[in-house]
Chains A and B, each alone.
Chain A
């Protein structure tokens, strides 16, 4: 895969969420094993639309398919979103401490300030 194609794949995954039409119901749903509840999810500091990167998996991974695709090497982390269902992901580790208050500023490791997270 060329450099352009490799990074293009990551870019597409970054924009996928914000350009896909979704109903209110789909938007409001937080799965039991949502990526946002995982210790390995690092929230993006640039956009708080819920995007983030996995600290373990690399680009090319996909935890939404059955069976999940795990890529462990590469130059970029796997881009995922707070409400992606990680129930099949063997790397899911439930996080104990979640900061749902956005008063203190960006902390990719702990902060999950999306409104939908209030219900969790």
Chain B
């Protein structure tokens, strides 16, 4: 779609068509790179036309994996990945300054074929992504699948999981994710490798010293104490192999850039850039970075290298904090680059992350429509001494976001009382421009929360980054969590559904939960509530059991040599980074579709047990019929039962009571490190994925209706008492003691929040939010008119971004049901 050149910036601003403004304001380089990037996020549940699965990587991987079959798993993976890194096709995009992708071409998605056979089978059956000629590709994939069938990480885990747990988990009714680091997401030990103190060569020297020390003992006095060292030496060799291969891979980019510069490039400016790229890739990751470009490149290389090793569904990061000193040195002190040049680098750093994508199973695509993973980058916050961590790069990132307008990465801002007004204004501009990010996080609350649930010391808690959408994770030696799996994600609406149906699931035709009694015979609310508590404990226990076992067995079934090589405790101990030994613990249960429980329980209490308007028998009959033939009754349950988010103690007390039960149980279930499993209510687009899987509920919902969108957000259109009432309801939650974090979506009116007055209104709203002790809020500020216009004319509005839940997406990339769900959310006047 061509830019309406005749329209002035002022007019575009008035029409809130921010994407045209971005196009005019960004540099030619950023404009080219933004338009040249291949979008890997799914359109609804499908990959975009033109996206193809990369078959070069699986070929190189499988050949080497088979060749090195007699090696221990970590070393086998290190050598296998080395074969990939040494041989996979690399490329340099025109005008790019930051290098590195996992595929052999920019339009490819990578395939993690050692993760799960069922995903491999899904890939074979997936429409649209086979490279041409399709027949040849299918034959190749069938051969890969025959080779990997039975020996993937999940195949191995399934053999040891309790079969009942395995079946119920794989039913798709109560949870998702895969309990292996093949598909998990790893926190990173940034305090080890990103502080400028060491590059990979320094780490290799540390590893060599450890090997030497261990070998002194293994050729010394025999005894049981030296026996573990034999395995650890193999692990250290694996880490070293992985780091050396990474350095070689980076140097391949240096060589390529130099070859192009010296033989092909005719533009002297670009030639100079290519030589700088060569110098950068020769420097990092081998040695610590010296300037902003090297620092961003170092970080990007590490993120990509981690994705050569595992799928990595999230991107925990704190770019302003770790790259800020280099920005300051280059732009403010040495003035070696201008602000505009720095902005180009920062914008491209975001675009390169946007480009990243691997083949994801359908549940992941549906749950994260429009994106490939939760790249939620953390900005702001405090330093370890408690002082404000915001810097000039914080502002540069916020400005770059408005120029490149990618949906992934998004930012989450650690707000605290010392944040300066100029930073808050930049944040507000991003929200006003409809990006849906940054989300706002209450830093003092979340630091206390990290100390409360997992016992992180204050200075470590202050380093926290978002491990995925929402959960804080320190970046320190004992605090960082190298393996988190989405499989501790509970489809919580099933709790109340099972409590009402004696644990039976009519959608998957299975006795899922415990038999907690025939709800038709319940005579008071307490009986129903007790059933609810038992079903909650059952769902949480089953999911946590599978994740705990997955984590415990991961070093044996998968192995992470690269991740270990950048993790201080692994380099020190010789254990796989994923081993729970030496970790404090930072687990959480992601509680999808949570608020339905409060609204459903309140509806039963009010209309059945208090008002005695209906009997339990009538209610269960109506629910079993999916409310079909009971429309009047259904509307009564929608309209006349209290709903969360209206500052109504009747339902709010039920919500709090449920959370108290979850918090109690969170301390009874333990992770492999022995630490707690607090809950974290949020959805990505899981509320749509589960819409046809959760049956009818007493809040008036039917099978197929979208579930509520947030973790503690009221149901769309059900919050009728204004934004302060929403905040007050949410403020009744103990945001430290009840769970790990609580996601709140809010829609604000773009016209009300225009100009200085709008900013001041938003600041006042944020003050109330903070005063009430809420830990999270994020905003959609795109009008209904724009969203409806985008539904009608998607091509014209292809750049409209919305906040879905813990992430943002281009509006045209999400399914119609998800679009409608966003439009239905109440626009709050503040």
Smallest beta-carbon distance B396→chain A, Å = 37
Bound form: Cα–Cα A8–B169 in Å: 13
> Which of B588-596, B687-695, B739-747, B793-801 forms contacts with chain A?
B687-695
The reply to whether A105 and B366 form a contact with Cβ atoms under 8 Å apart is: yes
> Which of B117-125, B444-452, B522-530 forms contacts with chain A?
B117-125
Across the interface, which residues of B come within 8 angstroms of A115, CB to CB? Answer: 125-128, 130
The reply to whether B507 and A108 form a contact with Cβ atoms under 8 Å apart is: yes
Smallest beta-carbon distance A19→chain B, Å = 4
Q: Is B45 positioned at the interface, with any CB of A under 8 Å from its CB?
A: yes
User: Given A17, A23, A106, which contacts B692 in the complex, CB threshold below 8 Å?
Assistant: A106
> Which of B30-38, B142-150, B329-337, B719-727 forms contacts with chain A?
B142-150
Across the interface, which residues of A come within 8 angstroms of B218, CB to CB? Answer: none
Across the interface, which residues of A come within 8 angstroms of B690, CB to CB? Answer: 45, 106
**A53-B510, A108-B693 known; A113-B45 Cβ under 8 A:** yes
Q: Flag A1-15 by CB within 8 Å of B: 1 or 0 each.
A: 001100110110011
Which residue of chain B has its CB nearest to the CB of A74? Answer: B511
Count of A interface residues, CB-CB < 8 Å: 48
The reply to whether B122 and A44 form a contact with Cβ atoms under 8 Å apart is: no
The reply to whether A53 and B127 form a contact with Cβ atoms under 8 Å apart is: no
What are some 24 contacts across the A-B interface (CB < 8 A)? A4-B162, A4-B163, A10-B163, A11-B167, A18-B149, A24-B138, A24-B139, A24-B142, A28-B138, A46-B170, A47-B170, A49-B122, A50-B125, A53-B510, A54-B509, A76-B511, A77-B508, A102-B46, A103-B815, A105-B691, A106-B45, A108-B693, A113-B362, A116-B125
Q: Flag B136-180 by CB within 8 Å of A: 1 or 0 each.
A: 001100100110011000010010001110110111110010000
Across the interface, which residues of B come within 8 angstroms of A51, CB to CB? Answer: 118
Bound form: Cα–Cα A36–B516 in Å: 34
Our count of residue pairs bridging A and B at CB distance below 8 angstroms stands at 168
Bound form: Cα–Cα A108–B691 in Å: 10
Which residue of chain B has its CB nearest to the CB of A114? Answer: B125
User: Which of B146, B164, B689, B815 counts the most A-chain CB atoms under 10 A from its CB?
Assistant: B164
Across the interface, which residues of A come within 8 angstroms of B688, CB to CB? Answer: 105
User: Given A3, A104, A109, which contacts B815 in the complex, CB threshold below 8 Å?
Assistant: A104
Bound form: Cα–Cα A24–B130 in Å: 14
Across the interface, which residues of B come within 8 angstroms of A21, CB to CB? Answer: 146, 149
Q: Is A96 positioned at the interface, with any CB of B under 8 Å from its CB?
A: no
Q: Is A20 positioned at the interface, with any CB of B under 8 Å from its CB?
A: yes
Which residue of chain A has its CB nearest to the CB of B369? Answer: A105
Which residue of chain B has its CB nearest to the CB of A13? Answer: B167
Q: Flag B453-475 by CB within 8 Å of A: 1 or 0 each.
A: 00000000000000000000000
The reply to whether B508 and A42 form a contact with Cβ atoms under 8 Å apart is: yes
Across the interface, which residues of A come within 8 angstroms of B166, CB to CB? Answer: 7, 11, 14
Across the interface, which residues of A come within 8 angstroms of B361, CB to CB? Answer: 47-48
Q: Is A66 positioned at the interface, with any CB of B under 8 Å from its CB?
A: no
Across the interface, which residues of A come within 8 angstroms of B121, CB to CB? Answer: 17-18, 47, 49-50
A window 61-81: CB within 8 A of B: 75-77
The reply to whether B138 and A104 form a contact with Cβ atoms under 8 Å apart is: no
Bound form: Cα–Cα A28–B125 in Å: 9
Bound form: Cα–Cα A3–B704 in Å: 33
A-B interface, 7 closest residue pairs, ranked by CB to CB distance from nearest: A46-B172, A45-B172, A77-B509, A103-B44, A49-B121, A18-B117, A48-B362
User: Given B122, B126, B170, B692, which contacts A107 in the complex, CB threshold below 8 Å?
Assistant: B692
Q: Is B817 positioned at the interface, with any CB of A under 8 Å from its CB?
A: yes
